[in-house]
Amino acid sequence: DTGVSQDPRHKITKRGQNVTFRCDPISEHNRLYWYRQTLGQGPEFLTYFQNEAQLEKSRLLSDRFSAERPKGSFSTLEIQRTEQGDSAMYLCASSFRQLEAFFGQGTRLTVV
C-alpha cells in the first residue's frame, strides 16, 4: 500500500483555462475527501464521497468545480474557467473504518 497518491504535484495554468486533478486513495478506503488549503491557512473541506456517491459539497465548491469518483476508486476534481483566487493546494484524503483520514501530498495550483 503506497498511500494516497495525487497527480500532478504542481500545475501552472492561465486564467480561464480548465484543470483536472486526480486522486488515488488507499485501496479499500471507501471514503474520499477533497480539501483546499490557501497560504497560511488550514485545509478547508470541499467535498466528500462514500464509494462512488458524492454525499456532501461545501459552499466553497462553486459551479465551476466538479468532482467525480467513478466506480468508487480514484477521484477527479475539475476546475473550469480558473480564476486567480483558485490558486491553492488541493489535498485529497481517504479513510475507512479506522476513521482517521490519510492525506496525499497535494496538488499545488497556480493560476497566472
Residues that bind other proteins (CB under 8 A): 4, 6, 31, 33, 35, 40-45, 48, 50, 55-56, 91, 93, 95, 99-106, 108
CB of 81 to other proteins, least distance (A): 26
- Nearer CB in complex with other proteins: 19/43: 43
- Nearer CB in complex with other proteins: 40/70: 40
CB of 50 to other proteins, least distance (A): 8
Q: Round to whole Å and give the CA distance between 77 and 42.
A: 19
Nearest Cα to Cα of residue 24 among 32, 14, 12, 13: 32
Torsion of CA 42, 58, 14, 110, to 10 degrees: 10
